[in-house]
Structure formats: structure tokens, C-alpha cells
Amino acid sequence: MANDAIKFLNDMRSTQKGLRSVAFISLGVCALVCVLAVFIAFRYVDRTKNEIFVLDQGAALEAQRAKNGEQKDLEVIDHVTRFHELFFNIAPNVSAINQNVSRAMELADESAYKYFSDLKEQKYFATLININATQQIVVDSVLVAVNRYPYRARCISSLYVMRESNITRYALQSDCELVEVARTRKNPHGLMIRKFYASKPQYIETRNR
């Protein structure tokens, strides 16, 4: 009987040791799973920080955020390009001109509106309407400096005045500063053009259509 009792106690101790081992292993596995879950979560958050969405004709497209300030360069370039396209793409229609200029003014301050007013006083838009000409801008390059604030930009473009019989090309250069403002649907980059100045368009050539 004594031997049976001793054997029973030894079996109990072995069982307890086995249960403790299983418990420790289970705790270790749970801890490892928790650590891996936290690690994966942090990796996911870090990766999504580098994801941005850009608008392409109203559609949201996913893109990767560039490093070392390159994304700010791209935003400034796109902002300046968009402003010029809205401001200088002109149909021979007063309503269309005012609509485009109004949208352009969402991206710039009163310096751009002053430039618009000067062109209006010079009968620039009235002349385009009278000759039934369409104006189109092609942005050749945008040079930006974002290492200092406010940011600086210079836009070099080609202006095409298209009549029924011919197309006249002009060279246009503009300079501006950009400051950061709140991002909105109408101003997704959160930038505002100020101190806008455009040189007088320089005649390049005229070719028949």
C-alpha cells in the first residue's frame, strides 16, 4: 500500500509538472502571437502613412508618398500647373472664362485676381471673344524651391491662341510664392499662390491650320 501511495504521488507530481510545462508553453505562444500582432499592426500603420490619394478628374487614385520632401515638390508642381490650366485655358465665352477664373482663384490670393483685372482692363479677354479664338496653355516645366518657406515656383509655359485659320504660339513665364493653408475639396494640396506675376507673353510663331 505504501508503495502504491508513493507511486500515486509521483504520478501526480509528474502530471502537475506536465501541466505546468503545457501552461508555460501556451503562455509563451500567446505572448509570441501578441508580439507578432503588435509588430504587424505597427508595420501596417507605418506603411499606410506613406499612402496618399490624388484626384484624377474626380477619381481618387492611390499613390506612394515620396521621401525626403519630394512629395511637397510634387504637390507644389501640381498646384501651380492646375492654377495655370484653369486661368489660361480660355474659350471664347464670357461665362466659361468667369467660371474657370473663379475656380483658379480658389488656389491663389488677390495678386492673381489683380493680374486678371489688368488683363480685363486691357480688353484681352474681349479680344479673344471678338476674334472667336480659343487659348490653350501647355506647361513646359515648373521649377520649385521647397527648402525655404514660403515656397517658390517658376512656371515656364507655351500659350497657343487658336483661330479658325491659324495657331499662334507665345512663351509665358510666371513666378509666385506658395504658403500652406487648410486642405479642402477645392484646394486638395492645401497651398495658396501669392505674389503672382506673369511676364508679357513673347511671340514665337504663327502657323496655318
Average the pLDDT over 150-162 and give the result.
97
Q: Work out the number of other CB atoms within 10 angstroms of the CB of residue 84.
A: 23
Average the pLDDT over 88-95 and give the result.
95
Average the pLDDT over 122-138 and give the result.
95
The CATH H-level (homologous superfamily) assignment of domain 69-208 is VirB8 protein (3.10.450.230)
Q: In this model, does residue 52 exceed pLDDT 70? A: no
Which pTM was predicted?
0.68
Name the E strands within the chain.
51-56, 59-64, 134-145, 151-162, 166-180, 191-198, 202-208
- Give the pLDDT confidence score for residue 33 in this predicted structure: 66
- Give the pLDDT confidence score for residue 22 in this predicted structure: 57
At residue 47 the predicted structure's pLDDT band, cuts being 50, 70 and 90, is low
The C-alpha cell of 32 is what? Answer: 509570441
